[in-house]
Structure 1
């Protein structure tokens, strides 16, 4: 086919020695991503020491003794060997001719497992094709080799290229497993291979950035174990690899780790480039250091790093993220005027009282920020005019705060720009569509879509998904379905998993769990793999419709899907399904199972349990739940170094108010006082009006019996004290600090029986 043939490893396994012949068309080129061995692979050692060599002749044949049976066996074995050699030779010839499709058919028809050279080259060429079918075929080879314990037949080059192909296809978990398997087996992949996986992990959600940093550390630690840098020169982290790791730190907001990696770059000869400082802009935004954004730009100019518009776009996006549209507008206007004193413009907009978060760290990263008052802002090397991307980012800021008119005006202004690079594109129009959808103007949003078709700016899948979501939010599911069909038939754009997730969520809004399940099945029937959001949204549909068992089945399927990683949100949705019906015991079993799988309940988990306890009217369970919540609240960060200990918990108003409500209704006034004290400690104002009403309605006649025995009255002493203390907290008269409080006048006997 047209696939570029992959290179062979620098130091291939012994079984692949034939690939180094002069006539080999797969020699290394400048396009190659070479991989090499850093040590003898573990599985190769095991194979060498445990597998007996193949004996083609069971009995030695001599001239003096001939056994007909032995001769027949020898002839059969020789014939089989010749057939095997012929099949391998034919497969190798097809691979050398780049006939990947025919080579794949030859592989599937082969009666034996081909040679390591053939297998490695076939995986390489399939990976280079970079299609869903070719990737599936390459994965099937890996699966077969693993099943037959023959994975050592593949060289590092083929595995690394497969990891890159899987990364491009979005199979990040699979690509990560390949790189980790290579490291465990003694391979050290090329930096372009493992850094591609780190980059994709860093940009993904959930714990992707954490996994990216772990993988980065695993590779660099292995590289540092070799005293000779030349031996592992192809695997040493470069600037792009560090940028990927720094991006993970920025996404996590880990400033200390960012500084550590930034300082470490010089050890590997990786110099920061403009992308490094673009990532630093993101870090400043995550650390709430708007005052430092301008100093990142100044640092780039001082170090004479080639500036690009991506940096300026990142700055505009950062100011928009801070909701500082005024500074973003001034920056764009200065660019429109062709001014080079952009740093001065941004300095003048800086807050008078800058934030001091992580001061020492940022002074190390940006030493120019410490001496800003003693220096003049530098000039840009040249003027940079804003392009459509920068204008569109400013439009998104308008859209974000609901300034629809300004969004439309910006679109009109872009249309009349002389520079073609500033004309609106599909992203610009999609932003306008989103602005109208957010304001509920679906008709005007559809008009923008029609205009895009008229002027030849094709709408993309994102444009249609935004419109579909708008109809779902307005509970117009039928129109959302019609638009989905129009999207596929008229625009030729097939819906993706996001499209179906939106529709499933829309069915939840109209309480149509059957419709949600139908969309889920339709999505899978089209070969679209569900995501974590797909599973959790469908679970939400069943949970909200009172079908927790179906939600449990969806959860089990999610657990068995290797493409999806179950998170706390999924566990909480499963818990909520049972809690909505007041099934406390079933919900507690799920929580116990959650803990066994390494997940600790959070505020949402406890909130669902509290609601279930209130619905089931089991105040005793509320006491147990409060004890666990109180214990988690008392944990301070850093006190428990044991990773198995539960993390600290910061309760919210909903959880504490529900627990306090249960305790007050059950006359557990001592616990109620503990809960309201916790609320006040966390800055949550308790609803005294509600608790006063509950006390008046339910407990105003407590301890008024005239016939209680002395023993019973003695047992009530502590409860009476707690009740009086709670009344005092409410501001009601009590026997400690004022006259007796009753809804009705008390007679003398009643007063005596109620006295402490």
Structure 2
């Protein structure tokens, strides 16, 4: 076109520049700018359309200041900026994460007498919501209504509702949902799917089911995203059969499952240990042209680890590498945890180093798995060194970290060090049930029954109420210490709180009946307890 004489008009070149700036997935904005400059060199006079294309290219390259320079040039050349020009600049602020400048620019546009269109508002809502500024989005929603140029539509309402749900602000999302219906704006499949997902995230399965029923009653057909989310919801509840039925139903209705659908159902099978079904589903997705991703493999690896088939899990890791997939932190953490539980600490450390070598930063879950493996194997000093390494890497210990170390110290007869951690936690106001139970077990192990009893009494004073595990732990401590009277007192207290002795505790009581060191009076108490328990179970 540049070599044609006479040159084509600026309108013809604008069509070319516009088309180039929309090329997916990576528009050549710099090339468009260079071509525009060359056209000016050839003597072609710009128009408002070409200048707006130029401003857009600068803005998309994050040079918003140059976009405003183009605006100044538009005015200088005697052209009148239009709403498309200003929307381009607003989009520039949004694209460059300068959200705090986008809304004030809208206010200035309004004062100049311009009327924003739905494209302008849509860009602003999308930007505010993607940045998590829900308050800003809600304020803009009210301003939009007061301006009266355009009323919010289903897309704008759904965008804000989606953002609220993602931030787990479900009550506000439901109020907005109710508001749009009162105003006669009918929710669409995206609106309903967003709300159902928000409810599922908060564990409100019943409400999610009711929302689905309302959606179907209003003749709104679920899409693939809705079906995928429902399958995920049922799988997380352990209702894999129902999830499978939904999977079959969606296929029968002509919907093609995507990677999210397959991964959700596959994860459900893995969590239940149904690895044969998981493998069949994996084969089906490959057969249907859906390539497994990191999430898919991580679910399978997790399933095999939980089924104690670590060799199969390691084989899948090699398969991932072969297929060009890079394991993520979750993949490695799952394997490291399984290896530590299987006492394969050396291999666990190798994978830990491998993930770091691949630029992956172990998270607190990864570190906790290593610490637990060390403590279970009596490697307490190594665990302390690992804790220091963990903190120096910028990962803060959590309550599970402290529990793990406390339990390790108690099992290694280093009660004083366990008590130091416990005191550190309580001084910070952290009264954790499991931490109390671990310390009670530690005192019982050392024969310090009075201290264990005192700690049990202190728990409730600190608003931390003992559970069934706590009672069984201290009762066994008193049984081992041959204080049958106090053990049975604790059993009665446990029953008042509607807890039950577990099999380990009952076996400990039964074992005392044949112990020659137990006097006849205590044996009579034991027999009465066991008869009462037997009768109680019969009545049940």
Following TM superposition, by how much is the alpha carbon of 1:601 offset from its aligned partner in structure 2, in angstroms? 0.9
Number of the residue aligned with 2:423: 592
Distance 1:268 1:590 in 2: 58
Following TM superposition, by how much is the alpha carbon of 1:527 offset from its aligned partner in structure 2, in angstroms? 1.0
Number of the residue aligned with 2:257: 388
Q: Residue 609 and residue 273 in structure 1: after superposition, are their counterparts in 2 closer, same or farther (change >3 A)?
A: farther
Any idea what SS the aligned residue of 2:326 has?
coil
Number of the residue aligned with 2:105: none
Aligned length: 440
Distance 1:474 1:321 in 2: 18
2:330 to 498, 508, 512: 498
Following TM superposition, by how much is the alpha carbon of 1:536 offset from its aligned partner in structure 2, in angstroms? 1.7
Following TM superposition, by how much is the alpha carbon of 1:622 offset from its aligned partner in structure 2, in angstroms? 1.0
Any idea what SS the aligned residue of 1:21 has?
helix
Any idea what SS the aligned residue of 1:571 has?
helix
Following TM superposition, by how much is the alpha carbon of 1:508 offset from its aligned partner in structure 2, in angstroms? 0.8
Q: Residue 613 and residue 222 in structure 1: after superposition, are their counterparts in 2 closer, same or farther (change >3 A)?
A: farther
Following TM superposition, by how much is the alpha carbon of 1:504 offset from its aligned partner in structure 2, in angstroms? 1.6
Q: Is the 8 A contact 2:467 2:499 kept in 1?
A: no
Q: Residue 20 and residue 246 in structure 1: after superposition, are their counterparts in 2 closer, same or farther (change >3 A)?
A: same
Unpaired stretches in structure 2, ≥5 consecutive residues: 1-25, 30-56, 76-83, 103-122, 151-155, 533-540
> Are positions 1:487 and 2:313 aligned together?
no
Q: Is the 8 A contact 2:310 2:338 kept in 1?
A: yes
> Are positions 1:537 and 2:345 aligned together?
no
Following TM superposition, by how much is the alpha carbon of 1:281 offset from its aligned partner in structure 2, in angstroms? 3.6
Distance 1:468 1:329 in 2: 21
Any idea what SS the aligned residue of 2:334 has?
helix
Number of the residue aligned with 2:293: 460
Distance 1:678 1:197 in 2: 53
Q: Residue 578 and residue 401 in structure 1: after superposition, are their counterparts in 2 closer, same or farther (change >3 A)?
A: closer
Following TM superposition, by how much is the alpha carbon of 1:27 offset from its aligned partner in structure 2, in angstroms? 6.6
Distance 2:230 2:328 in 1: 32
Number of the residue aligned with 1:289: 206
Q: TM-score normalised to the size of structure 1?
A: 0.46
Q: Is the 8 A contact 2:440 2:474 kept in 1?
A: yes
RMSD value, Cα = 5.4
Distance 2:427 2:91 in 1: 42
1:677 to 488, 492, 503: 492
Q: Which deviations, in whole Å up to 9, do the C-alpha atoms of 1:274-316 show, x marking residues without a partner?
A: 33322444537934538x73x5345235556575343344445
Q: TM-score normalised to the size of structure 2?
A: 0.61
> Are positions 1:657 and 2:456 aligned together?
no
Following TM superposition, by how much is the alpha carbon of 1:520 offset from its aligned partner in structure 2, in angstroms? 1.6
Following TM superposition, by how much is the alpha carbon of 1:320 offset from its aligned partner in structure 2, in angstroms? 5.4
Any idea what SS the aligned residue of 2:431 has?
coil
Q: Residue 392 and residue 669 in structure 1: after superposition, are their counterparts in 2 closer, same or farther (change >3 A)?
A: closer
Q: Which has the higher contact order (CA 8 A, sep 6+)?
A: 1
> Are positions 1:432 and 2:314 aligned together?
no
Distance 2:361 2:444 in 1: 39
Following TM superposition, by how much is the alpha carbon of 1:659 offset from its aligned partner in structure 2, in angstroms? 0.5
Number of the residue aligned with 2:459: 629
Q: Residue 456 and residue 626 in structure 1: after superposition, are their counterparts in 2 closer, same or farther (change >3 A)?
A: same
Q: Residue 725 and residue 623 in structure 1: after superposition, are their counterparts in 2 closer, same or farther (change >3 A)?
A: farther
Following TM superposition, by how much is the alpha carbon of 1:651 offset from its aligned partner in structure 2, in angstroms? 1.0
Q: Is the 8 A contact 1:246 1:258 kept in 2?
A: yes
Distance 2:300 2:178 in 1: 46
Q: Is the 8 A contact 2:368 2:400 kept in 1?
A: yes
Equivalent residue runs for 1:332-481 within 5 Å: 384-389=253-258, 407=277, 432-433=281-282, 452=286, 458-465=291-298, 468=301
Q: Is the 8 A contact 1:28 1:34 kept in 2?
A: no
Distance 1:219 1:287 in 2: 27
Number of the residue aligned with 1:509: 341
Q: Which deviations, in whole Å up to 9, do the C-alpha atoms of 1:707-732 show, x marking residues without a partner?
A: xxxxxxxxxxxxxxxx7995585269
Q: Is the 8 A contact 1:316 1:328 kept in 2?
A: yes
Q: Which deviations, in whole Å up to 9, do the C-alpha atoms of 1:190-239 show, x marking residues without a partner?
A: 643453354xxxxxxxxxxxxxxxx75x65798799999669x9xxx953
Distance 1:598 1:33 in 2: 47
Any idea what SS the aligned residue of 2:500 has?
coil
Number of the residue aligned with 1:571: 402
Q: Which deviations, in whole Å up to 9, do the C-alpha atoms of 1:557-585 show, x marking residues without a partner?
A: 545556x6654333322333323323222
Distance 2:512 2:136 in 1: 62
> Are positions 1:243 and 2:169 aligned together?
no
Q: Is the 8 A contact 1:578 1:586 kept in 2?
A: yes
2:442 to 603, 612, 615: 612
1:276 to 182, 191, 210: 191
Number of the residue aligned with 1:582: 413
Q: Is the 8 A contact 2:336 2:352 kept in 1?
A: yes
Distance 2:159 2:453 in 1: 54
Q: Residue 534 and residue 499 in structure 1: after superposition, are their counterparts in 2 closer, same or farther (change >3 A)?
A: same
Distance 1:678 1:260 in 2: 46
Distance 2:377 2:184 in 1: 59
Q: Residue 580 and residue 3 in structure 1: after superposition, are their counterparts in 2 closer, same or farther (change >3 A)?
A: farther
Q: Is the 8 A contact 2:192 2:211 kept in 1?
A: yes
Q: Is the 8 A contact 1:239 1:271 kept in 2?
A: no
Q: Is the 8 A contact 1:7 1:29 kept in 2?
A: no
Any idea what SS the aligned residue of 2:73 has?
coil
2:223 to 284, 308, 317: 308
Distance 2:144 2:330 in 1: 49
Number of the residue aligned with 1:21: 72
Q: Residue 246 and residue 510 in structure 1: after superposition, are their counterparts in 2 closer, same or farther (change >3 A)?
A: closer
Any idea what SS the aligned residue of 2:515 has?
helix
1:523 to 355, 365, 373: 355
Q: Is the 8 A contact 1:246 1:276 kept in 2?
A: no
Distance 1:472 1:310 in 2: 29
Q: Is the 8 A contact 2:275 2:304 kept in 1?
A: no
Q: Is the 8 A contact 2:165 2:173 kept in 1?
A: yes
> Are positions 1:195 and 2:137 aligned together?
no
Q: Residue 689 and residue 578 in structure 1: after superposition, are their counterparts in 2 closer, same or farther (change >3 A)?
A: closer
Q: Is the 8 A contact 1:332 1:386 kept in 2?
A: no
Any idea what SS the aligned residue of 1:697 has?
coil
1:700 to 486, 494, 518: 518
Q: Which deviations, in whole Å up to 9, do the C-alpha atoms of 1:512-555 show, x marking residues without a partner?
A: 33432332222112211222322222222222222334434444
Q: Which deviations, in whole Å up to 9, do the C-alpha atoms of 1:484-515 show, x marking residues without a partner?
A: 45533x32222322332233223313423343
Distance 2:491 2:455 in 1: 15
Distance 2:239 2:328 in 1: 34
Number of the residue aligned with 2:481: 666
Number of the residue aligned with 2:79: none
